[in-house]
Amino acid sequence: MSIRFDEKGKFFTDFVSKEAVPVMIQALTHRVKGNIHVHPGERLKDEINQSEPFFAVTEATIYDHAGKVLYRCDFLALNREHIIWIFPEDQTAGNEKASGGGGA
C-alpha cells in the first residue's frame, strides 16, 4: 500500500475505508437484501446517488415477488436505475414481513 502526502500534510492511500450498511432494496422485478458499503460519516443516500451506473451489494440474497429466495451471492452489481426503494435493515425492527423478503 502506498501513502502520499500533500504540501499541507494531508495523506492519501490506496486503501478506501468503508462501513457495511445492511439494506433491503426493491428493484423493478426482485427484492435484494445485502450490504452496501459507505464511507464513514456519509449517508446511504450519498452512496446510491453516485454517478456510476452500478453499485456493489455484498452478501446479497435475491428474492422473487413472493419472497422466495432465488439466488445468494457474495457480490452483486446493481443498476441504480432499477431501484424502486431502499432502506437500512436496522429500520425493520418489529416488522415480521421484512425479515424474509416478504411480499411485493
102 or 53: which leads in pLDDT: 53
pTM: 0.71
Task: Give 52's strand partners.
Answer: none
CA dist 5 and 91 (Å) reads 40
List pLDDT tens digits, range 64-101. Answer: 999 999 999 999 999 999 999 999 988 655 554 544 55
Bridge partner list, 20: 37
Instruction: Identify which has the larger pLDDT, 93 or 27.
Output: 27
Domains in the chain (CATH in brackets) are 16-85 (2.30.30.100)
